[in-house]
Amino acid sequence: LADAAIGQRWWDHRLDAVRTFEEIMGPSRSMGSGVILDTLEVSALWSDIEAVHAEVSAVLERESERSGCHFSHVYVTGAALYFTFILRDLDDVVVEDRYWRTWRDAMEACRAAGGSVAHHHGMGRLKASFLAEDIGQPAVDLITRIQAALDPAGVLNPGALLASRGRGSAGVDGVS
């Protein structure tokens, strides 16, 4: 059995991110304009966890004012790494450009270290441009055929998985 202190530490800090988001991005915008607080979640097999953590952390440490990571979901084969980071720059426009670059660089670092940009929530609009790299083009082709058969008009959540299908989707390139 794990040491009871581990469980207590989790219990005591399980809502830290919520309080931080409220402080930074809430009505008072305590950190002012030009600040973005966000999270990104990736996953990896146990054999790749250390490398994925190190590579994504390196990007976030280089680009952000502050970052941290914890396992949000743990499985027999691996885990989901949940990173929280704060970016600060001159104003909202400049920090947004930096945000998109940081996201892209973090996703590329994850993939280069053997991780997956998907996690327990799947991919989504922000990561759709990484789908082929993550699961391979044959799997994307299959998903495309299934989606075309079940939703020929492309009206069901367009752009949420396949960035090129339906209305545009926001992604790490900052285009929506």
Using alpha carbons only, give the angle 123, 126, 131 rounded to the nearest 5 degrees: 45
pLDDT tens profile 48-65: 999 999 999 999 999 999
DSSP 133-149: HHH-HHHHHHHHHHHHH
The strand pairing partners of 37, in sequence order, are 86
Least confident window among 37-46, 98-107, 118-127: 118-127
pLDDT in the model for residue 26: 63
Distances, alpha carbon 108 to alpha carbons 2, 49, 172, in Å: 34, 15, 11
State the pLDDT confidence band at 112, using cuts at 50, 70 and 90: very high
* Residue 83 pLDDT > 90: yes
The region, left, alpha or beta by phi > 0 then psi within -120 to 50, assigned to residue 66 is beta
Distances, alpha carbon 173 to alpha carbons 45, 114, 125, in Å: 27, 22, 11
Let me know if 12 is exposed, middle or buried by CB neighbors in 10 A (0-12, 13-18, 19+): exposed
Q: Enter the pTM of the model.
A: 0.75
- Considering only CA atoms, which of 35, 28, 72 is closest in space to residue 53? 72
pLDDT tens profile 8-24: 887 888 777 777 767 66
- Considering only CA atoms, which of 109, 100, 67 is closest in space to residue 84? 67
Let me know if 120 is exposed, middle or buried by CB neighbors in 10 A (0-12, 13-18, 19+): exposed
